Amino acid sequence: MKDRVGQIACIRPEYVGRFKCDGQACGAECCRKWTITIDEDTYQKYRKVKLKNLRTKLKQHLVTKEHEGSLQHLIKLDHKGSCPFLQPDDFCKIQRACGEEYLSKTCRTYPRSFTQLAEKLVEETLTLSCPVAARCCLLNREPLRFEQIERDLSRMSVSYFSADMLLQSALLSMQGPALGILQRYTEEQPDLRFALLGFFLDRADELTQSDRAGEIDKCGQPYLSGELDGEVGQTLRLCKGDAKAYIRHMLIVLELFYGDENRHFERMSVQPYLDNVMNAYGIQSEEVVLSEVAERYERIREAYRDKIYGEYGYIWTNYFLNHYLYMLYPYGVHEKVTVAYEFFVTVCKLVEFFALALFDRRKDEACEDDVIELLRYVDNKIIHSPNDRMKLLLMIEDGGHGFLDVMRLLLDSGCR
């Protein structure tokens, strides 16, 4: 089967180009306990490997199963849950014996993510499930810059942005101003950027639906410059945080992910993070007094928000930006922009909710590495878990919130 994508224009953050795979730096996490699929071309190559010992081992560990009406080739993991071709020095035996061209599309691509946005254009990002990629992305202290290069993607796994032509044409126009808004409002009034993002997305979606996507860039300028008209400024003043409503929403999300029927403790290192949350906010029992939890939350937020967004503000901003890019907001998450917006803000605020609890429990012992691991955990738990991602989307759909509803529920814009 001929590949649909070969040499093609690729837009990516500059930090993506600095990523180098290093199994010794991360313990080759991607080669352990993860499903490793093998594309058809690579499978045929493996059947013809000339090295006798390697060919024998490939025959032992390559399996073919039916998946969604077609055949899927997989590498059968060993008794420890590791790829049988992972060597003691965390290097791939297949690559060492035959060269990089014998790696499957899965192994060549990860932790990069390629999405084709148009016939001759792809977007490349990094997934934070890889610890090396996470540090490359999150520790970037420079303002986000993009580069456009030519990429040969014939041996990479590429996903396809499947929204209709109307939304496809608007996506890139909306991404530029949105990323600028998220990057501008950092240390003081951290929620202000989310509120302004909501106003921008609301207006940009109106332009898209009325076939005026060419005006999106112009409509984004006031939100980037801060020159907002009186109506928007007045509306922002209404977005004063309601701690009780916020805590109620967070408790619903926690129950959604960690209720008795939804536990994944054996797969995810969740228990320490949950312990921090339960102890910090005083929600160990089922009979929670909302006002008391909200009071504790406000005290912790007052004590540690400046530290989070001051000392580690660049990490949070990089996370928000990478998450926005990776999920192709707003139309990559849901066709309704209000749903996508609430999903984005909920994820970002859940990260903050966990982080405040972490800093409250660890005090001055919390460090940069703790922040990175927390962000990687939340990213793995929600973004890379299709079941959990769908649970959250369904909950948001059922809620039927509008943009202002989300702001009042989750944000404190800081405007007075």
Residues 223 and 84 grouped into a single domain: no
Residues 151 and 214 grouped into a single domain: no
187 within some domain = no
Residues 130 and 230 grouped into a single domain: no
Type of residue at 127: T
The total number of structural domains in the chain stands at 2
Q: What digits encode the pLDDT tens for the residues 258-315?
A: 775 444 433 334 567 788 888 899 887 667 788 999 999 999 998 998 888 888 989 9
Residues 259 and 139 grouped into a single domain: no
Burial of 52 (0-12, 13-18, 19+ CB in 10 A): exposed
Give the range of the structural domain holding residue 252, as residue numbers without chain letter: 197-410
Mean pLDDT of 228-245: 69
Last residue within a domain, chosen from 160, 175, 208: 160
188 within some domain = no
342 within some domain = yes
d(CA 55, CA 48): 8
Q: What digits encode the pLDDT tens for the residues 104-158?
A: 998 889 999 999 988 889 999 999 988 999 999 999 888 889 999 999 888 888 9
Residues 129 and 49 grouped into a single domain: yes
d(CA 76, CA 81): 9
166 within some domain = no
**Angle at CA of residue 45, ends 39 and 19, nearest 5°:** 60
Q: What digits encode the pLDDT tens for the residues 346-400?
A: 999 999 999 999 999 888 788 899 999 999 888 887 777 788 889 999 999 999 9
Residues 250 and 373 grouped into a single domain: yes
Reported as type and span, the H/E element at residue 146 is strand 146-152
416 within some domain = no
180 within some domain = no
62 phi/psi in degrees, rounded to 5: -90, 125
Residues 368 and 262 grouped into a single domain: yes
Residues 354 and 284 grouped into a single domain: yes
Last residue within a domain, chosen from 160, 186, 217: 160
192 within some domain = no
Residues 261 and 403 grouped into a single domain: yes
CB 38 within 8 A of CB 74: yes
Last residue within a domain, chosen from 160, 179, 206: 160
Type of residue at 87: Q
d(CA 263, CA 274): 11
DSSP 74-138: EEPP-TTSB-TTB-TTS-BHHHHHH-GGGS-HHHHHTTEEEEEEETTEEEEEE-TTSHHHHHHHH
Handedness of CA 351, 353, 357, 360 (dihedral sign): positive
Residues 231 and 113 grouped into a single domain: no
State residue 220's pLDDT score. 87
Residues 206 and 353 grouped into a single domain: yes
Handedness of CA 97, 99, 100, 101 (dihedral sign): negative
Q: What digits encode the pLDDT tens for the residues 147-191?
A: 999 998 888 889 888 877 778 888 989 999 999 999 876 556 788
Residues 257 and 122 grouped into a single domain: no
170 within some domain = no
Handedness of CA 90, 94, 98, 99 (dihedral sign): negative
CB 303 within 8 A of CB 297: no
